[in-house]
Structure 1
Amino acid sequence: MGTYTIIYLKKAEMAEEVNIFLKEKYSLKYERYNGVDYGIFYSQEMFDEDLRFMNEDQEGRANLPHYQRPIIRETYYSLLFGPKNCFGDIGTACIKISCISEEDIETIKALQKFSTTPEFNKYIHFRKSKNLERLLRQDL
Structure 2
Amino acid sequence: MTSITHLDLTADSATQRVVKDEAVHVQFAHEPGSLMSLEGPNRYEPGDALITGATGERWVVSRDRFNAKYLPHDGVEHGDAGVYRNIPVVVLAKQMHESFSIARSEAGDVLHGVAGDWVMQYAPGDYGVVKAARFAKVYKPA
Q: Do Structure 1 and Structure 2 share a fold, with TM-score over 0.5?
A: no
Larger proportion of strand: 2
Instruction: Give the greater-gyration-radius structure (CA).
Output: 1
Larger proportion of helix: 1
Q: Which has the higher contact order (CA 8 A, sep 6+)?
A: 1
